[in-house]
Amino acid sequence: MEELVTFCKTRGFVYPSSEIYGGFAGIYDYGHYGILLKNNIQKEWMKSMVQKRSDVYALDSAIFMHPTTWKASGHVDGFNDPQVDCRTCKARMRADHLLEEHGIDADKATLEFLNEHLDALKKEGKMKCVSCGGTDLTPARTFSLMVKSNMGSPLDQLSEENVVYLRPETCGGIYLEYKNTVNSLHPKLPFGIAQVGKAFRNEIVARQFIFRTREFEQMEMQYFLHPDDMEISYEKWHEYRWQWYLDLGITEEELKWVGHTKLVFYASKAYDIKYHFKCMKKFDEVEGIHARGNYDLTQHSTFSGANLEYFDQARNEKFIPHIMETSVGLNRLMLMFLDHAYTKEQVNGEERIVLKLDKRLSPIKVAVLPLMKKDGLSEKAEGVCQQLREKYMCEFDASGSIGKRYRRQDEIGTPYCVTIDYDTLKDESVTVRDRDTMEQERIAIKDLKSYFASHVGDCV
């Protein structure tokens, strides 16, 4: 993980936030290549969810919503984790995670249960701070994961009646716009609403780089359907989402389905797609697929007084639709693709670092490199680069030896390098180098657009 974090910083993918002030725990900024990679992942998700389907509609709901939204969803009263503090070094820890490290199942356990077992382990000398090793730990207490704001209210007048929350998940906005979507677009069941957006959680322990952060992006799709259609629809989405990972280069061996052993009361089925992160040496969740019943719409109907029933003409029946959800962390997917693509290999006795990303995801599609900075080669290369920029995200690089420039492009995952040399001035052809094979071929400048159209496609 440390090696990957360093790579992401030095190569302009991810930076620690507010680093000149000492950093800000659990928050990261995305640099030039990082945002391009993240945007490409998002584009592929939206393409598979909305562009390729006729039954899913797009949405971009607001981060701030009416505070009753989170009362109805249960977040205000139940979205919390048990916290333990170290009095020596002030480190924060999850009480349930501390117990699970000792083989005690503490998932959704009460504070009474947690403190009983924590006290027993303390007496045995087995309960220590994960940071400094100290034994002076506080009892477990409830820690709300909701992030509050004073939007629209003076700070000194904040109360639970007028507090506004930054959304802890993006699906809340989808439920609130379900009725408007039905009324304006008139979709037939089953149909889905998909969106990508920021969410915020006051995590006790933000760790594992961009895998778990306090500000993150989710890509969620809520699929509304009749309860009788849940089983078959769930299986179809189960296969559809699995195939998406395979199509972008993740292998079957790197993925696995893990079913939830404990379900929330309103859910009938829940599975996670887990990827084996080399940087963490373990499988961990990147996406969840859940059969949620009609709990969410029922709650919002009850709290708001709005009628959220759907009239199914084919069945001649009114009902509140049930929901099948797919929820994926965009930041986690970025870490997954970086982890998968980061490769070290020996070339002529030297180590080469290369990001073997799927071409659709690569931040830069083509790099144009003049062999020398003189004799008009740079000017020629800039002209070629400008032509290709009309279609692809390109980069012009004239600094250093041609070998070092190849290596730089390998490290950021650029699939193709175009070299302008002295022969180019004579015959209007260039050398195109493939990132993965390092093979080179001579292509006429006039044929470059068609060449890359067949090798890269419509990906920008």
pLDDT tens profile 289-300: 999 999 999 999
Tens of pLDDT, residue by residue over 235-272, are 999 999 999 999 999 999 999 999 998 888 888 999 99
Q: Look up tokens 């997917």; give the residue.
A: 333
pLDDT of residue 96: 87
Read off the pLDDT of each residue in 348-371 and give the average, rounded to a whole number.
95
Tens of pLDDT, residue by residue over 102-147, are 888 887 778 889 998 999 988 888 888 888 888 899 999 888 788 8
Read off the pLDDT of each residue in 324-350 and give the average, rounded to a whole number.
95
pLDDT of residue 150: 76
pLDDT of residue 146: 80
Looking at the chain, the whole-number percentage of residues with pLDDT higher than 70 is 97
Read off the pLDDT of each residue in 68-80 and give the average, rounded to a whole number.
83
Pairing of strands 191-200, 56-58: parallel
pLDDT of residue 158: 57
Thinking of the domain 80-144, which architecture would CATH place it in?
2-Layer Sandwich (3.30)
pLDDT at 51 over 80: yes
- Measured distance CA(249)–CA(357) in Å, rounded: 8
Q: Where in the chain is the domain with CATH 3.40.50.800?
A: 364-455
The sheet carrying 366-370 orders its strands as 394-396, 366-370, 416-420, 429-434, 440-444
**Entry pTM:** 0.90
Confidence label for 80 from pLDDT (cuts 50, 70 and 90): confident
Confidence label for 155 from pLDDT (cuts 50, 70 and 90): low
| Superfamily (CATH) of domain 32-64+168-339 | Bira Bifunctional Protein; Domain 2 (3.30.930.10)
Q: Where in the chain is the domain with CATH 3.30.40.230?
A: 80-144
pLDDT at 2 over 60: yes
pLDDT of residue 180: 96
Q: Which residue has the higher pLDDT, 273 or 164?
A: 273
pLDDT of residue 67: 85
- Measured distance CA(336)–CA(348) in Å, rounded: 29
| Superfamily (CATH) of domain 364-455 | Anticodon-binding domain (3.40.50.800)
pLDDT at 152 over 80: no
pLDDT of residue 13: 97
Looking at the chain, the whole-number percentage of residues with pLDDT higher than 90 is 69
Confidence label for 91 from pLDDT (cuts 50, 70 and 90): confident
pLDDT at 156 over 70: no
pLDDT of residue 131: 83
Contacts of 136 (CB under 8 A, 6+ apart): 86, 87, 88
- State the angle between helix axes of 377-389 and 448-455 in degrees (0 to 180), rounded to the nearest 10: 50
Q: Where in the chain is the domain with CATH 3.30.930.10?
A: 32-64+168-339
